[in-house]
A and B are shown apart, each in its own frame.
Chain A
Amino acid sequence: MKNGFRQSMAWVHTWGGLSVGWILFFVFLTGTLGYFDTEIDRWMKPELPKDTSTMEQALTVAEARLEQKAVGAERWFISPPTNRDNPNLRIFWQMPGEEGKRGITGNELLDSTTGDALSGRATGGGQTLYRMHYALHYLPTDVAYWIVGICSMFMLVAIITGIVIHKKIFKDFFTFRPQKGQRSWLDIHNLLSVTALPFHFMITYSGLIFFAFTYMPLIVSSSYGTGEDAEQAFFDELFEETDKAERANIHADLASLSAMVAIAQSQWGKDQVRYIDIANPGDANARVSIGRQLDSPLRSSPELVFDGVSGELLSNKAAATSAPRTVRDTFLGLHEGLFANITLRWLYFLSGLLGTAMIATGMILWTVKRRPAQLKQAKGPDVGHRLVESLNLGTIVGLPIAIAAYFWANRLLAVDFAARSEWEVHSMFLVWAGTLIYSFVAWPVVRNITRHWIHLLWLAAAAYSLLPVLNALTTDRHITRSLINGDWLFAAIDLTFLVTGILFAFTAFKLQHRVPQAAPKKRAAPAANQHAIEPDAPTTPQEAV
């Protein structure tokens, strides 16, 4: 296209990256927070007690509750409070549906010492944030999947072309030269991209694989035909779910679950049971599958299958089978990181932030590179340039502020307000809209855009560093108490908010003291004296830490 392969690829990288960068920023940031989804859930339901029960207690309570709520169900599912995904005992049930339709389902959190249902305040929690990174919000899911899919495809192309156009990946591996304007932005963009390159590639490619059946339906239907039955046939074959026990419609009591769990524990060790999945409870053909904790990137965990009436061990299902399925499971497992312990989870979180910052620095680089020439134009910067400047500001700083607003809303909305979980999300998007409006007010003054960055950065700093204060004022879980009680989850989240706030403040402060404050107040100043203001473009990475 251009003269030479590298130049063409540079063009694709720049414009492909720019065109969907804001959505990708949203996807990366919300997805990164998703690595701490259950922790955020806990923080957003501060009333819930910490579960300290034994497996035995949890099973008794769960079974009693399911007997009470869902007799004759098609499926019961018990998640004991044994790992980070389930800090509290959770039960799920599904009633038989009519003629091929999915039956009514329900789920509850239980207090495994008293057996009462736990409710806590209504909140979207970390799950809602996490869901946004693939299903966005306010949109039909199919539409959202396609939008995210197309953006992921752009991301994949941007990553590969990025590697192609980077001239000295190894030589410049550690290179960062600050205070050099455009050069610094390129350095930091490269640093963030290259040091976490395997993560960026893995997360993007596996993101596409998650919804591959949606994005590439023709490949399946060319072998299996069209329609839902054909699709189901493919899934059954691929995932080998042929040994489903048919209902016998003869009543039979369920054998002791704790005896089966004991067998599983004797094989795998204590605390290794992740779930108990009961098909056809109360029926002569009941089957109980017990799943093991995930301890490797392979997504499917080993399962023990029991006869639900006799309690006899039927089979010991290994995790994955064929090579393509293993590849798929590994990709998806790596993406979700469910196997990650706390250290690895923080590294995942960090890598996600590096990816988010990579996108942000790429977008900023685009404006920094073009700003001097744009400001020299007699008629002022082009509409397109202004659009990018405003969207950058309103998204790169605006979205973090909006997410802070989500947490603020969780603490400030009345606990008994019926639509509170919806309004948590509305607050987030209203605030984001607000920051975008603010940055579009900055529209005519690209010259002073740094000032607007500083304002929003201070706002972000306040929004985050005051969150622990707000938490202390509105709940009884203030940070000193969390630290004294050794409640690391609450302490860590409060501290993370504080550190985030400090980083925003630091960035704002640095930026403020680098900008000559004597910027003339004329709006469309004459073309001559303009680049005196420009060279002090922001040089500190917003979220690079």
Chain B
Amino acid sequence: MLLAFALAYITCITLCLAMNRHFQQLLPNQKISPKIAMLLRNSGWILLLLTIIYCTKLVGVAVGLVLVLGLFSAAACLLALLLNYAPRVALGLVVAAPLASLL
């Protein structure tokens, strides 16, 4: 379950990084090239698909879809707050969340 959340969160942050404004918030000292932005955006959509597949594998299609929606609500809200108040934590979670799910 935690891995599912980690996946949803990483999906959100990838899509977020593809947007100039949020990229600046997370990595203020770096510039994003259109090419990288495109790459991030596409990976984001692929990750989204993976999250959906993982959740439906985990608990079945019907409940899995409900789970995906719930996880994304939580992940997106968390990320939107972290972007402003703790951008480093936002980046740190990318590593921490999957690690925590392995424990």
Q: Which residues of A contact B (CB under 8 A)?
A: 171, 173-178, 191-192, 195-196, 198-199, 295-298, 334, 339-340, 343-344, 347-348, 350-351, 354, 544
Whether A191 contacts B63 by the Cβ 8 Å rule is: no
B21: chain A residues within 8 A (beta carbon): 175
Whether B62 contacts A347 by the Cβ 8 Å rule is: no
Q: Which residues of B contact A (CB under 8 A)?
A: 1, 12, 15-16, 19, 21-22, 60, 62-63, 66-67, 69-74, 76-77, 79-81, 83-85
Interchain nearest-CB distance for A168 vs B (Å): 11
Whether A344 contacts B73 by the Cβ 8 Å rule is: no
Q: Main SS of chain B's interface residues?
A: helix
Other 5 A-B pairs with CB < 8 A, given A174-B76, A177-B84, A296-B62 = A195-B72, A195-B73, A297-B66, A340-B66, A544-B81
Whether B81 contacts A176 by the Cβ 8 Å rule is: yes
Known interface pairs A296-B63, A297-B62, A544-B77; A348-B84 also in contact (CB < 8 Å): no
Q: Which of B60, B63, B73 makes the CB contact (< 8 A) with A350?
A: B73
Whether B63 contacts A297 by the Cβ 8 Å rule is: yes
Whether A348 contacts B70 by the Cβ 8 Å rule is: yes
Q: In whole angstroms, what is the CA distance A354 to B75 when docked?
A: 13
The listed residue with most A CB atoms (<10 A of its CB), out of B22, B62, B70, is: B70
Closest A residue to B13 by beta carbon equals A174
Whether B80 contacts A175 by the Cβ 8 Å rule is: yes
Q: Which of A171, A174, A298, A351 makes the CB contact (< 8 A) with B12?
A: A174
Whether A174 contacts B16 by the Cβ 8 Å rule is: yes
Q: In whole angstroms, what is the CA distance A389 to B66 when docked?
A: 37
Known interface pairs A174-B22, A198-B69, A296-B60; A350-B74 also in contact (CB < 8 Å): yes
Q: In whole angstroms, what is the CA distance A343 to B66 when docked?
A: 12
Please, could you name 19 A-B residue pairs with CB atoms under 8 Å apart, sorted by A? Answer: A173-B15, A173-B76, A174-B79, A176-B81, A195-B73, A195-B80, A295-B60, A295-B63, A296-B60, A297-B62, A297-B66, A339-B63, A343-B1, A343-B67, A344-B63, A347-B73, A351-B73, A354-B73, A544-B81
Q: In whole angstroms, what is the CA distance A321 to B56 when docked?
A: 23
Q: Which of B67, B76, B81 makes the CB contact (< 8 A) with A344?
A: B67
Closest B residue to A348 by beta carbon equals B70
B67: chain A residues within 8 A (beta carbon): 343-344, 347
Whether B80 contacts A347 by the Cβ 8 Å rule is: no
Q: In whole angstroms, what is the CA distance A175 to B12 when docked?
A: 12
Q: In whole angstroms, what is the CA distance A297 to B71 when docked?
A: 17
